[in-house]
């Protein structure tokens, strides 16, 4: 086929048929200590796995190994934990790819990867350190060709859905008589009227960004999970909130104590539980639940990543603004029984302070 020759209908038909036959795909993702992978046969999920390890320096960004390559031999407790977790994560992924999924990966027709920077060494044998991984010359390997989110099973399924969907349509040349030539001598601006038969109405609802934010917040305030799901599952883009007027659905739901809404936002939308609201004293969702005495919400947020050490502009933590002793008891119970591999929250002088430790359980 020549460079300027357009493929005919048979060419596309053969390509589509080959795609239907080669339908076993693997999708692998890793970033910031999060690993997610799955193998699909058509729309059937044959296997999937997710792993989360603390490997990234919080608030500073970058893995510990990347910092070590800069020649800084840091020997803090946090650095040693991150090094150990990176090694453990690499061993776990190596075991998955060379033992658990070895046969299925060999049978895959395509392998899509999201592994920015040096993360490729988790999947591809670049330096020969871990034999049995994928060959860097393997023609089945492709990068995910669009922006992705944090590696999770939900994101893996979204990527597979996009990659396995084909959109096509018939485009015909516009009749030549409808194109009016531009009179360059008189330098007139000529408007070409499009053929109405070529105009395709967008199915995406037109909505003002402020209206969309208001819809989300109002649905959260009313505890309407169905309306939230409709908005998030529609063609609307997730809004970028204005910093001065920031108000999130999770914060409003925590104020009102709507547990089903909070569970949906945390588990399905993966909302950030630690966003601080500027017009509400920089309080977080945990502050909102605590000050209103929604103890079940406080407990849920604490076990889903809420940081009890964040303080508002009044220097008060969520514990400090607790409605009553029952709410404070929830924080004490969390501090006394919840084990963290990196940080434990210690209750002293009616406030939470953070200290570095390793696998410590407080009595």
Could you report the per-residue pLDDT of 6-65, keeping only the tens digit for each? 566 666 666 666 665 667 899 999 988 889 999 998 888 899 999 988 888 766 666 666
Q: Is 17-163 CATH 3.30.420.60?
A: yes
pLDDT category, 294, cuts 50, 70, 90? very high
Give the span between the Cα atoms of 338 and 232, in whole angstroms: 32
Distance CA 184, CA 202 (A): 35
Inter-helix orientation angle 225-233/259-267, to 10°: 20
- Does pTM surpass 0.75? no
The CATH architecture to which 209-356 belongs is: Alpha Horseshoe (1.25)
| Helix 295-302 with 325-337: angle, nearest 10 deg | 20
Which is it for strands 110-114 and 34-41: parallel, antiparallel or unpaired? Answer: unpaired
Comparing 269 with 262, which gets the higher pLDDT? 262
Residue 177 pLDDT class (50, 70, 90 cuts): low
How sure is the predictor about 161, in pLDDT bands with cuts at 50, 70 and 90? confident
pLDDT for position 352: 46
Q: How many CB atoms lie within 10 A of CB 55?
A: 24
According to DSSP, the β-strands at 24-31 and 44-52 are unpaired
Task: With a cut of 60, say whether residue 205 has pLDDT above it.
Answer: no
Average pLDDT, the chain: 75
Strand, helix or coil for residue 326: helix
Strongest mean pLDDT among 95-109, 126-140, 163-177: 95-109
The pLDDT score that the predictor gives to residue 283 is 92
Sequence ranges of the domains in the chain: 17-163, 209-356
Task: Give how far Cα 278 sits from Cα of 33, 77, 244, 272, 313, Å.
Answer: 30, 34, 6, 15, 9
**SS3 of residue 65 by DSSP:** helix
Which element (helix H / strand E) includes 353?
A: strand 351-356
* Stronger pLDDT, 31 or 133, i.e. the higher one: 31
The confidence band for 210, taking pLDDT boundaries of 50, 70 and 90, is low
What integer is the mean pLDDT of 303-319? 89
Q: With pLDDT > 70 as the criterion, what percentage of the chain qualifies?
A: 64
Work out the number of other CB atoms within 10 angstroms of the CB of residue 354: 14
């Amino acid at each position: 086929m020549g460079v300027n020759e357009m493929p005919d209908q048979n060419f596309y038909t053969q390509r589509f048929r080959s795609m239907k036959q080669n339908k076993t795909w693997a999708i692998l993702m890793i970033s910031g200590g999060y690993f997610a992978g799955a193998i699909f046969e058509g729309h059937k999920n044959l296997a999937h796995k997710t792993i989360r390890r603390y490997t990234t320096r919080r608030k500073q960004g970058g893995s510990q190994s990347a910092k070590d390559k800069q020649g800084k031999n840091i020997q803090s407790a946090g650095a040693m934990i991150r090094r150990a977790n990176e090694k453990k994560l690499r061993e776990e992924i190596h075991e998955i790819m060379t033992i658990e999924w070895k046969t299925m990966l060999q049978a895959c027709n395509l392998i899509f990867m999201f592994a920015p920077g040096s993360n490729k060494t988790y999947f591809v044998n670049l330096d020969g350190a871990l034999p049995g991984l994928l060959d860097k010359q393997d023609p089945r390997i492709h990068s995910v060709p669009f922006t992705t989110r944090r590696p999770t099973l939900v994101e893996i399924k979204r990527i597979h859905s996009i990659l396995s969907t084909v959109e096509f349509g018939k485009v015909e040349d516009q009749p030549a008589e409808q194109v009016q030539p531009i009179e360059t001598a008189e330098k007139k601006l000529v408007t070409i009227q499009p053929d109405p038969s070529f105009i395709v109405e967008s199915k995406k609802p037109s909505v003002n960004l402020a209206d969309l934010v208001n819809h989300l917040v109002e649905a959260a305030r009313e505890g309407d999970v169905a309306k939230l799901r409709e908005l998030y599952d529609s063609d609307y883009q997730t809004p970028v909130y204005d910093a001065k007027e920031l108000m999130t659905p999770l914060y409003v739901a925590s104020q009102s104590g709507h547990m089903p809404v909070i569970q949906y936002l945390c588990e399905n939308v993966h909302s950030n539980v630690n966003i601080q609201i500027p017009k509400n004293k920089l309080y977080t969702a945990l502050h909102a639940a605590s000050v209103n005495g929604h103890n079940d919400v406080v407990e849920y947020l604490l076990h889903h990543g809420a940081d009890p050490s964040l303080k508002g502009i009044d220097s008060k933590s969520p514990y400090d603004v607790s409605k009553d002793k029952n709410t404070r008891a929830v924080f004490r119970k969390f501090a006394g029984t919840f084990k963290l591999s990196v940080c434990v929250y210690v209750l002293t002088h009616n406030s939470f302070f953070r200290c570095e430790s390793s696998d410590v359980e407080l009595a």
